[in-house]
Structures are given as structure tokens and as C-alpha cells.
């Protein structure tokens, strides 16, 4: 599998396959990666979901989306569909996703409450929302003042109509929130 050099550096401190397995991604599932960037989680999700699964990526950065499309084509991953646009304005489907995933992105949105409301529309009643984000005290990552604490992320997710099932450490620098539609 081809991986850009930046992914190799990131893989030293974050294992996307292990994180995706931890949230329960399996063959045949529908997975939506909100704020997918260049596909650090999207590409391994497509491999894990297999030909019978479907993976969607949403990102506002057209260049990142184009790079992801090119990588998916090179890797013959025909189960990936990508969309360029603001997550505050996008609902790709209604109640179609087994998993709606935010990979260190929720704190970056201008209106995270709207993004989460859209995620609530896309997730199946039996599905999950998974929010992986930077710990507030982590030595790596964006400036601490833009990061969401575990408590703030939990409040936002619950306000969007989810019931938080767990909040736990994920590696050295992140936490993972798992929630289901309420």
C-alpha cells in the first residue's frame, strides 16, 4: 500500500488501523470520515470495510480531497467516495452510516455543533459516532486554546443528540469518545 511520507512520520505516534479496529470497523460497514484531509483514516478504513463496505470522506480542502482521490485510485479502492465542502453544510446521506468518525478534526470546525447535528442525521440508529481528538495537555498538536477538553467534546456530542458510552485515552496524545444516537 502506498503511503505519503507525512503519513509515515505520523504513524510513529498514531496507528489508524488499530484505532479503527478499536471503534469496531468491520467488513461491510459504511464509514464516514468527517474532516478526512488526505485520507490518513479514510484509506485504511476502505481496506478494512472491504469491497462490500462503503467509505465516505468529507473535507473543505479541495486539494486534500483531490490527493485522497488519487491515492484511492492508485490503491484500487473503489469503495471510497469523497466530497469537498464544509461539514457544517453537508449531509451525505440519512441514517446510512455505521460509524461517523472525526479524526483529530472536531476542534477545527467553525461551527462544531452544526457539524455534529449533521453527523446525527447521517448515523444509523444502531451506529456510533467516534471522536478522536488531541488531549488538552498533550505536548504535541495544535495550540491548547483551540483544543476541546474531553468534557467540552462530551457536552457538544450530547447536545447533538448522542449518548456518550465511553471516553478513554487513545495513544499518548489523544482521547477517544464513543457515542450512540440517543
Residue 138's domain is classified under what CATH number?
3.40.50.150
Query: Residue 7 pLDDT more than 60?
Result: yes
70 in a domain, yes or no? yes
The residue segments making up the domain with residue 117 are 27-146
Per-residue pLDDT at 46 = 97
CA pair distance 58, 84, nearest whole angstrom: 6
Q: What is the pTM of this model?
A: 0.94
Q: What is the mean pLDDT of residues 90-100?
A: 97
The mean per-residue pLDDT over the stretch 104-116 comes to 96
Structural domain tally of the chain? Answer: 1
| pLDDT bucket at 9, cuts 50 / 70 / 90 | confident
Of the candidate ranges 1-10, 90-99, 114-123, the one whose mean pLDDT is the lowest:
1-10
Q: Is residue 173 part of a domain?
A: no
Does residue 60 lie in a domain region? yes
Residue 76 lies in a domain: yes
pLDDT digits 0-9 by tens, 123-158? 999 999 999 999 998 988 999 999 999 999 999 999
Residue 33 maps to a domain:
yes
pLDDT-based confidence at 14, cuts 50/70/90?
Answer: confident
* DSSP assignments along 39-75, one per residue: TTTHHHHHHHH-TTSEEEEEES-HHHHHHHHHHHHHT
Mean pLDDT of 81-90: 96
When pLDDT is averaged across residues 28-43 and rounded to a whole number, the result is 96
Does the pLDDT at position 101 exceed 50? yes
* Residues above pLDDT 90, as percent of the chain: 88
pLDDT of 67 higher than 80 = yes
Distances (CA, A) of 87 to 78, 112, 178: 23, 9, 19
Residue 1 resides in a domain:
no
Do the domain assignments include residue 5? no
Tell me whether residue 71 is in a domain: yes
pLDDT of 2 over the 50 cut: no
Amino acid at each position: 500500500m502506498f503511503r505519503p511520507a507525512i503519513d509515515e512520520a505520523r504513524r510513529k505516534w498514531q496507528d489508524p488501523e488499530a484505532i479503527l479496529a478499536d471503534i469496531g470497523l468491520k467488513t461491510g460497514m459504511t464509514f464516514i470520515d468527517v474532516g478526512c484531509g488526505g485520507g490518513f483514516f479514510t484509506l485504511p478504513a476502505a481496506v478494512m470495510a472491504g469491497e462490500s463496505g462503503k467509505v465516505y470522506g468529507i473535507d473543505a480542502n479541495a486539494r486534500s480531497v483531490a490527493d485522497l482521490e488519487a491515492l484511492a485510485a492508485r490503491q484500487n479502492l473503489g469503495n471510497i467516495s469523497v466530497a469537498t465542502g464544509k461539514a457544517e453544510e453537508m449531509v451525505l446521506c440519512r441514517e446510512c452510516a455505521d460509524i461517523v468518525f472525526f479524526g483529530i478534526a472536531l476542534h477545527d470546525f467553525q461551527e462544531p455543533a452544526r457539524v455534529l447535528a449533521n453527523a446525527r442525521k447521517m448515523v444509523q440508529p444502531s451506529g456510533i459516532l467516534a471522536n478522536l481528538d488531541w488531549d488538552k495537555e498533550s505536548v504535541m498538536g495544535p495550540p491548547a486554546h483551540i483544543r476541546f477538553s474531553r468534557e467540552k467534546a462530551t457536552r457538544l456530542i450530547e447536545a447533538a443528540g448522542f449518548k456518550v458510552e465511553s471516553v478513554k485515552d487513545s495513544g499518548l496524545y489523544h482521547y477517544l469518545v464513543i457515542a450512540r444516537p440517543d
